[in-house]
Homo-oligomer: A and B are copies of this chain.
Amino acid sequence: MNLILLFEDDFVESGLVEIKGRRLDHVKQVIRTKVGEDLTVGIENGKIGKGKVTRIDDDILRMEVVLDIEPPPPIDITLVLALPRPSVLNRTLIAAASMGVKTFYLINARRVEKSFWLSPKVSQENIREQLILGLEQAKDTVMPKVIFKKGFKPFVEDELPQLIEGNQAILAHPVKGTVPLRGQTGTPVILVVGPEGGLIDYEVEMLKSIGFKPVSAGERILRVETIVPVLLSKLTS
């Protein structure tokens, strides 16, 4: 936690904040801040700045905050992710949010196990928790949007064609003969990452037919939580 993310509810009056729970525990146990010291803070979807700690109790931390710095710029990559297994989902959301992704689509695909959709982790509440962890890691405040699309075909046929207008449409596809991925700057990107085991041929063909270009990040097949940072990094360098 390199920044404590604040929410409107945390403000007891203008410039005065009280936090408890996980954030308080983290300050006490990890950052070990004392009264009179400053914490790096930021308000959800707003500026970042300093919080001067004026009181720490067992169950509350109070600070006077000044928010005067813009959060870091986002990266202009929309991540379309076949729903991974729940533990991988959490780690991938944290990693991608920390790297600045602001729009996620979680989609179905043939090789997405149906049980994944039933996990309690596939809820806006859990997802928001992971996104907060990612923002806190990267000193960012701008909450990403996560949109569920449980129908692969209607999403690809009816929605993706509009979404990719003006974007580079890139499909991560570790198959021999695909183009190695190289950084390309300027144009926003829509990046599709398939499930463990990959998209099936029919799904790949459908994406290609609407304009997606299959690219490879190398011969080795990597976990979703590993390939996503690699691809985001390559696409922004």
Question: Could you list which residues of chain A lie within 8 angstroms of chain B, going by C-beta atoms?
Answer: 2, 72, 91, 94-95, 98-100, 137-140, 182, 217-223, 225-226, 229-230, 232-234, 236-237
Contact = CB atoms under 8 A, between A and B. Distances in A.
Nearest to A233: B230
Given A94-B223, A138-B222, A234-B234, 10 more contacts: A2-B221, A91-B225, A94-B226, A99-B220, A229-B229, A230-B230, A230-B233, A233-B233, A234-B237, A237-B237
A222 B137 contact: yes
Contacts of A98: 220, 222-223, 226
Contacts of A218: 236
B95 A140 contact: no
Contact of A99 (B138, B226, B234, B236): B226
B226 A139 contact: no
Number of copies: 2
A98 B225 CA distance: 12
A219 to B, nearest CB: 5
B2 A226 contact: no
B220 A72 contact: yes
14 contacts: A91-B225, A95-B225, A99-B220, A99-B222, A99-B226, A137-B223, A138-B222, A218-B236, A225-B225, A229-B233, A230-B230, A230-B233, A233-B233, A237-B237
Contacts of A234: 233-234, 237
A89 to B, nearest CB: 14
